[in-house]
Structures are given as C-alpha cells and as structure tokens.
Amino acid sequence: MSDTTRTPEGETPAPAADRPADETNGRLDADGRRREHEIWVAGTEEPDWITNATDEGAQEMLPRDLDPAVSVQRGVTVTDDYLEEEMIVDDERQIINMGPQHPATHGVLRLHMELEGETVRRVKPIIGYLHTGMEKTAETLPYMSGGTNVTRMDYLSPLNNELCYALVVEQLLGVEIPSRGQAIRVLMTELNRVSSHLIWLATFGMDIGALSMMIYGFREREAILAFFEKVTGLRMNHNYIRPGGVAADLPDGWEDDVEGIFDVVRAGLDDYQDLLNGNPIFLDRTQGVGVITPKEAHQYGVTGPIARAAGINFDLRKVFPYSGIEQYDFDVPLGKHGDVFDRYLVRTEEIRQSLRIVEQVLETMPGGDYRTDDRKVTPPPRKRIDESMEALIHHFKLFTEGFKVPVGEAYQAVESPRGELGMYLVSKGAAKPWRLHVRTPSFATVQSLPVMMTDLIVADVIATLASLDPVLGDVDR
C-alpha cells in the first residue's frame, strides 16, 4: 500500500508530472509508434506543428488577395438577420477542415473553410481522394471492355456513363443502332436517372435531418435495382450499354416489371412531397440557401438540375438529342431562384418526367435487333459459331483484339442526372483509345462550391453540398 503513490482521496496523480523527457520527443516510443497526442493550450506559444498545421501545398488556401474566385464570390449574398458584418472582427477568422472522412461530404470530398464565427467566408474544395486513374486505364482497355471502366466513374448513374462512351465510340465508328437498341438505351438510362435522383433524395434528406427519407429513398430504389439486376445481371456497374448496341435483349415479362416500378416510385414520390413540401423546418433550411445565379453557372460550367433550378432552360435531351430521345414527349422542369429548394423541386419533377418517358418507351418499344448488325463491332450469332470456323475466329478476334476505330477526335455529351456528361475521344486507329477525357458534371459543380457557400453559415453548407448531389467518383475519376 505504502509504496504506491496514492493520494488520500484515492486518485492517482497526473502521470506526466515527473516522467523523464524521452529522446523521441515524447510522441513516439522506441518502436516508432505514437504514444500520446500532443496538445496545445491556447494562449501559450504555438508549437511548429500548430503553425504549420495547414501548410500542405495544394491543400492550402491561397492568400486572400490571390484567390481568383473571391471577386465572383462577392456576387452571392444571403441576408440573414443574425449575420451582422460589422460585429465580426477580422482576426476571429479560423480555418477548419471538413472531410475527407465526413458523413456529409458524400464520399471523400474535403472542404477547407475559413470561418468567422458560424459564417463561412471562404471555401476551398480539395479533391482527388478518390482519384482512380481511370483516364489512364481507359487507354489500356480495348473499346469492347472500355465500358467496364467508365461505368465505375459515376457509380450512381452507371448506365449514363456507358451510354456516353458507346455514343462517342459509335460516332467515330459510324455505325447506326437499330431502333430497339436505342429504345432500350433510353429506357435504361431514364430509369437510372430515377434511381439516381432517389438516392439523392435519400442522402439529401439524411443530411438535413429528415432521416426517414434515407430509408424511403433506398426502399423505392430497390425496385429499380431489381429490374436492373434482371436485365444486366448486376445491381450497379452494369457494362450493359456497349458500342454497337446493348449487351442483351430485355428479359421476358419486362413490361410487368417496369409497370411495377411506376406504382412503387409514384406512390413514394407522393409520400415524399407530403412529407417535405409543407414542412416548415425543411423550407427554412432549403429556401434561399446555396444560391447560384445563371451567370455564375455559365462561368463555372454548372449544368443539369442545378443550372435548371437557377432558371437556365437547357437540357441536352432537348437541344442535342441522342439515342432517339427526341421522339418521346417530356417537359424540362425549371426553377426560379437557384436555391436548394428549387433543386429539390426540379429533381422530383425530373423523376416524374423520366417515368413519363419510360411509359412512352413501354408503349412504343419497337421490335427488331437490339444491336447493330455491323459485323465489325458485333459478334456473329451463336448459331453461326457452331457452324462456321470463320465465325468462331471472328468471335474470338473480336473479344481478344477488339475492333479498330478510325482516326479522329470526337466529343459526345449526354444529360446525366448530374448534368452534362461529356467524353472527348481521340483515336489513332488502334483497338484502344489514344485518349479518353471525361467531362464530368460533378467536377464543375464542386468547383463552383465557393460561389454557393460563401457567406452562408456552417449548417447551410451541409444543405448546399447535399443539394448538389456530387459523386466523388465522378469528380476524381
């Protein structure tokens, strides 16, 4: 009892008091493992590791006068009565990090924020935490397997990515897709838009505190994913739309499955709108928050539902129609204010319009082949392979060497759920692309974050970010 240094109250004394300062600066033990965390008490002299805490090169904010976005950011002001400019002093600014591991960043986005109290004065988005080198990988894969690569970029709308890739390759190849193949493409991509928007609704609801939305959105999405699984064999990352058509025809009884989706999603949508549209907390947190003006959207290349929520009447399906989507009748919902609430309205209406397109596809699905009969890109039918040696060799060569694409450069864009998804393909006549650049909508959206977030309060940053629906796989590729 007596040899232990026990205080009368039975507490052990602070252990650090008489511990000898060890040679590894107290932070690492002999094995190089970290033993304890350093703590800096405010008011004492700053150690180096505090001073240099944000000294991380590209991960660091620019000096204020060098920040090129500042002049543009000034255009965005939010009039909240609890933000009083004159009450805030300049040296109260602090820089905090949000992410890359943060539940509200939708993946691995990192935001470097300069705060004045609760007010965000500047934001620098730092990306690259999911950089997968897909553009390099695309140069090593033949055109036939390129779809497996691009489908993993925007993992919430894989079919749109595949469609864009197939279209840009077909542009250079100069093949025409039969009308059934085109209709299947439209059907699948529009359903994919619905499922992507449902996930957006789920995560958006979760981020602003409507937790049940998370459950509901995923519940309705399962109906669509079950259909995708039936058609393509996979729930995500399908590699179903390929240059030359689609991988397989629709299964028997697909009409009934699609009609089942209508019932589930439409009933779900009505529920959501009952829940959210009149909810005062929801309105408070979304209206007038995270505004982007049409001019800023043009400047930063922001497209898709975010631009349409700001009132920009531009939808690639209408302006540069692809895959025969011009024969279907649908409207482009537009917002007025460019804030979070308008984005919510635009996206929910887009779900309805997409279902409308799917309904028309269902009624007018043409017969015929689901892929081109151009033997350059399509393997011979299974029956021919059994009969003919040449057909077998042809089949083998097509899947080992792949087909060659004529020399050229082409750009193709499709309206993905997040905006203009474009691919710029450079071919040098080989069986693999020379260069495939992907213009991803989320990249432009994340770039414009400073515009939307400046002068908001921190809680609104979450709502704004959630409303943009950035997919980090899409940003970093």
Partner 1 sequence: MAGETSNPNFLLTTLEKGVNWTRTRSMWPATFGLACCAIEMMATGTAHYDISRFGMEVFRASPRQADLMIVAGRVSQKMAPVLRQVYDQMAEPKWVISMGACASTGGMFNNYALVQGVDEIVPVDVYVPGCPPGPQSLLHGILTLQDKIMSGEITRARGLIV
Partner 2 sequence: MSDESIPQDESLEAQAAVEASPALELPGDPILVELAAAFPSVSFTSFEPLSGPRQDTAIVDRDELLAFVQAVKDAGFETFIDLCAVDHLNREPRYDVVTILLSMEHAKRLIIRVGVPGEDPTIPSITSIYAGANFYEREAWDLFGVIFEGHTDLTRILLPDEWSGHPLRKNYSVGSVPVQFKGSFKSS
Residues that bind partner 2 (CB under 8 A): 56-59, 62, 66-69, 72, 127-128, 131, 133, 135-137, 140, 167, 170-171, 174-176, 298-301, 303, 312-315, 318-320, 322, 332, 408-413, 420, 422, 424, 426, 434-435, 437, 439, 443-444, 446-448, 476-477
Smallest distance, partner 1 to C-beta of residue 251, A = 19
Among 347, 343, 335, 286, residue whose Cα is nearest residue 311: 335
DSSP state letter for 325: G
Q: List binders of partner 1 among 61-100 (CB under 8 A).
A: 100
Position 271 contacts partner 1 (CB under 8 A): no
Peptide bond just before 417 cis, omega within 30 deg = no
Q: From the list partner 1, partner 2, none, which binds 439 (C-beta under 5 to 8 Å, kind-based)?
A: partner 2
CB 273, CB 352: distance < 8 Å: no
Smallest distance, partner 2 to C-beta of residue 55, A = 10
Binding mask 376-415 for partner 1 (x = CB under 8 A): ----------------------------------------
**Alpha-carbon separation of residue 400 from 88, 143, 335, 379 (angstroms):** 66, 11, 49, 12
C-alpha 322/C-alpha 324 separation (Å) is: 5
Q: From the list partner 1, partner 2, none, which binds 426 (C-beta under 5 to 8 Å, kind-based)?
A: partner 2
Amino acid at position 462, single letter? I
Smallest distance, partner 1 to C-beta of residue 140, A = 8
Among 176, 146, 179, residue whose Cα is nearest residue 164: 146
Q: List binders of partner 1 among 458-477 (CB under 8 A).
A: 472-473, 476
Position 33 contacts partner 1 (CB under 8 A): yes
Q: From the list partner 1, partner 2, none, which binds 237 (C-beta under 5 to 8 Å, kind-based)?
A: partner 1
Identify which of residues 168 and 276 has a Cβ nearer to partner 2 in the complex.
168
Q: From the list partner 2, partner 1, none, which binds 103 (C-beta under 5 to 8 Å, kind-based)?
A: partner 1
Position 199 contacts partner 1 (CB under 8 A): yes
Identify which of residues 59 and 94 has a Cβ nearer to partner 2 in the complex.
59
C-alpha 232/C-alpha 252 separation (Å) is: 13
424: β partners: 411, 437
Residues in contact with partner 1, counted by CB under 8 A, come to a total of 38
DSSP state letter for 4: S
Position 134 contacts partner 1 (CB under 8 A): yes
Q: From the list partner 2, partner 1, none, which binds 107 (C-beta under 5 to 8 Å, kind-based)?
A: partner 1
C-alpha 224/C-alpha 257 separation (Å) is: 9
- DSSP state letters, 213-240: HHHHHHHHHHHHHHHHHHHHS-SS----
**Alpha-carbon separation of residue 14 from 18, 127, 140, 325 (angstroms):** 9, 42, 60, 73
Residue 327: strand, helix, or coil: helix
In this structure, the number of other CB atoms found within 10 A of the CB of residue 295 comes to 12
Give, in degrees to the nearest 5, the angle at Cα 241 between 308 and 137.
90
Identify which of residues 410 and 457 has a Cβ nearer to partner 2 in the complex.
410
Question: Structure tokens of 107?
Answer: 């993946």
Alpha-helical segments (H) within 233-304: 254-276, 280-286, 294-300
Identify which of residues 61 and 385 has a Cβ nearer to partner 2 in the complex.
61
Position 429 contacts partner 1 (CB under 8 A): no
Among 106, 32, 10, 5, residue whose Cα is nearest residue 472: 106
Identify which of residues 120 and 172 has a Cβ nearer to partner 2 in the complex.
172
Position 437 contacts partner 1 (CB under 8 A): no
| Strand runs labelled E in 327-450 | 408-416, 419-427, 435-439
Q: From the list partner 2, partner 1, none, which binds 236 (C-beta under 5 to 8 Å, kind-based)?
A: partner 1
Q: List binders of partner 1 among 208-237 (CB under 8 A).
A: 214-215, 218-219, 221-222, 235-237
C-alpha 269/C-alpha 443 separation (Å) is: 29
Among 129, 254, 424, 434, binds partner 1 (CB under 8 A): 129
Among 26, 117, 128, 311, binds partner 1 (CB under 8 A): 128
Identify which of residues 229 and 374 has a Cβ nearer to partner 1 in the complex.
229
Smallest distance, partner 2 to C-beta of residue 333, A = 12
